Amino acid sequence: MSGDPGSGIVLVSLNRERLPSPVIPVGLACLATALLRAGHRVDVVDLAMEENHLAAAQKVAGLSPAAVGLSLRNLDNVSWPDSHGYLPAAKEFIGALKGLIDTRLFIGGPGFTVCPGPALEYLSLGLGLAGEGEISALRLVDEVLLGTGSPAAIPGAVYRDGGDIVCVPPEITAPAGWPDDDWPGLVSPEARNLLDIEAYLEAGASFNIQTKRGCPLHCTYCVYPLLEGRRFRLRSPVSVVDELELARDRWGAGRFTFVDNIFNLPLEHAKAVCREMVKRKLDVQWETYLHPIAVDEELLGLMLESGALGLEFTPDSGSSAMLASYGKDIEVEHLEQAAKLCRRMGLPFAFNFIFGGPGETWETVDETFALADRLDPTAVLAALAMRVLPGTDLQQRAVTEGVIGPDDDLLEPVHYISPAVREGFEEGILERVRTRPHWIVPGLGVNYSPELFELARRFNRDGAHWRHVKRLRSSHRRPMGGD
Ligand code: B12
Ligand code: SF4
């Protein structure tokens, strides 16, 4: 073991994934904001920027931290059939780090929050924090890691008690002493400065900003409301656009993603953010996800005026029966209206579909294809099978149908595929997309590969490759995967 216990906290971003694009570790930066505001010294080691695990572990050890916070964004790529997990690499890094320092480690982040107990166990760690980091992590650092308190009093704490792992339920509260405008989601410039933003932008990342947290809807497979709560908590449009303007001025960021669960709910808040951007005449481009239920001409007009490049809808299906089965609160008519409006206003748009969830049959698959043909989006992004995640209705359904046992911890990816389409599933979808050049199927490698992303970056430095897929496909030798 080496190194004096210093007074600083080192935050480590474990994420090395570069597809569909590298992602600036904004969650870690939120945490850094809170720690810096409370007077802690904070350093960041970002594994996406490091050659290998050992070099990164040595870098952390060299900083002699008082405590090390690990940010686990992704468990796996939620993709089928080409599923791959990120936990083995994280475990390897943690093993290397433990060999170099005896400082206490704690872990958090969305990947951890989805499966806290099993992840703690698998990674052989003793302390974690599920849920939002700003408040609880600060308490964990001050009271437990640098003090003598017990994690039992800290919302979201996950710790070992004898042979058991205890999970204290997370709580959602605003940090004391923060201006209302900054909560939730603010990342201070000092915190972003700890990251190599230039390198991310150079590698094709978009600058990520949150305008709110929460989602009150109940889609059957989705963990977002479990991660962010079911109540919308809105950040002031002025604060959002201040962060955006600063990013443009300080780092030359020109392309942004609003990383809300859904940008346009509540509709008036989305419009207010756009209006603030228009008012400041920011020459920026941006992208986001929209719910088809809350799209009107005024919103699309403001989006265009403020620099939106295009928008993605996530209806998950184009079949009425499947929309109901997925708990989507959407009718086919909402998709029709949204598509019509986008086309009239000249905004590129994509639909995201998930095939194979509960109730899917080849008939409902064909209804979705027929609707997409009729509405003719710029692109379609299709996933096959649904990753079963803890705490969702889908988990219950999978237990009832015997796909998983009631005690399956779901750390290893399990994907639900409706029995009616299971046989010949990949072939059936491949056959249907073969004649549709604007369909992207990541799990089957259709119009989705590092080479294609590289091409998109080289020729169109303005964002998501789906907007260019038709053109890229025709200029690329092997556009269709899975063959
Ligand atoms: C927007 C988004 C994207 C965008 C990102 C765009 C961009 N430029 O940033 C896109 C579409 C590119 C994307 C891609 C992917 N994503 Co995504 N994404 C999200 C989403 C909706 C928001 C993420 C976000 O930025 N949140 C805002 C920040 C502030 O919150 P946060 O990261 O959770 O951080 C907070 C806490 O977690 C905590 N915290 C964070 N770190 C730490 C560390 C410590 C020590 C502590 C104590 C606390 C803590 O404090 C933070 C502040 O409160 C989430 C779902 C969700 N609602 O969280 C999924 C999510 C994070 N994505 C997920 C996945 C899997 C992926 C992909 C692998 C999917 C794929 N195959 O393409 C890729 C990976 C990309 C990559 N390079 O890593 C999963 C991860 C969990 C899992 N199931 O494994 C999620 C949760 C969705 C899901 N389906 O379950 N994603
Ligand atoms: S899929 Fe979207 S709308 Fe549905 S619960 Fe999840 S975040 Fe909310």
- Tell me, what's the pLDDT at 1? 35
Are 5 and 101 within 8 A, CB to CB? no
- Tell me, what's the pLDDT at 483? 36
- Smallest Cα–Cα separation from 128: which of 117, 139, 138? 117
- Tell me, what's the pLDDT at 6? 47
Ligand number, closest to the Cα atom of 389:
1
284: pLDDT strictly greater than 70:
yes
Higher pLDDT, 204 or 120: 120
- Tell me, what's the pLDDT at 480? 43
pLDDT digit string, tens, across residues 230-251: 999 999 999 999 999 999 999 9
7: pLDDT strictly greater than 70:
no
Q: In the 8-state DSSP scheme, what is residue 122?
A: H
Two tokens at 264? 């346009």
5: pLDDT strictly greater than 60:
no
Higher pLDDT, 294 or 5: 294
Taking CA atoms only, the protein residue closest to ligand 1 atom 68 is 77
What's the gap in Å between 262 CA and the centre of ligand 2?
7
- Smallest Cα–Cα separation from 451: which of 427, 480, 430? 480
Rounded to whole angstroms, the Cα distance separating 27 from 20 reads 18
The domain at 206-384+418-475 falls in which architecture?
Alpha-Beta Horseshoe (3.80)
What's the gap in Å between 387 CA and the centre of ligand 2?
15
Give this prediction's pTM.
0.96
Which atom in ligand 1 lies closest to the alpha carbon of residue 21?
77
Pocket of ligand 1 (CB under 6 A): 15, 17-18, 20-23, 26-28, 30-31, 69-71, 73-79, 106-111, 113-114, 129, 132-134, 137, 206, 208, 210, 223-224, 227-228, 257, 259, 261
What's the gap in Å between 169 CA and the centre of ligand 2?
22
Mean pLDDT of the chain: 93
Q: Burial of 2 by CB count in 10 Å (0-12 exposed, 13-18 middle, 19+ buried)?
A: exposed
Name the packing angle between helices 425-433 and 362-375 (round to 10°).
20
Domain ranges of the chain: 9-167, 206-384+418-475
- Tell me, what's the pLDDT at 447? 92
The domain at 9-167 falls in which architecture?
3-Layer(aba) Sandwich (3.40)
Neighbouring residues of 178: CB distance < 8 A, sequence distance ≥ 6: 37, 186
Confidence of residue 8 (pLDDT cuts 50, 70, 90): very high
Ligand number, closest to the Cα atom of 312:
1
Are 199 and 159 within 8 A, CB to CB? no
Taking CA atoms only, the protein residue closest to ligand 2 atom 3 is 217
Which atom in ligand 2 lies closest to the alpha carbon of residue 316?
1
- Tell me, what's the pLDDT at 464? 74
Region 133-160 average pLDDT: 95
Confidence of residue 327 (pLDDT cuts 50, 70, 90): very high
pLDDT digit string, tens, across residues 31-69: 999 999 999 999 999 999 998 988 999 999 999 999 999
pLDDT digit string, tens, across residues 286-304: 999 999 999 999 999 999 9
Strand partners, 380: 351, 439
383: pLDDT strictly greater than 70:
yes
Element (H, E) at 256: strand 255-258
482: pLDDT strictly greater than 50:
no
Element (H, E) at 439: strand 439-440
Rounded to whole angstroms, the Cα distance separating 180 from 186 reads 10
Region 387-393 average pLDDT: 98
Name the packing angle between helices 332-345 and 362-375 (round to 10°).
20
Rounded to whole angstroms, the Cα distance separating 275 from 269 reads 10
- Smallest Cα–Cα separation from 113: which of 131, 125, 127, 97? 131
182: pLDDT strictly greater than 80:
no
What's the gap in Å between 9 CA and the centre of ligand 1?
22
Are 379 and 311 within 8 A, CB to CB? no
Element (H, E) at 234: strand 233-234
Pocket of ligand 2 (CB under 6 A): 215, 217, 219, 222, 224-225, 261-262, 291, 314
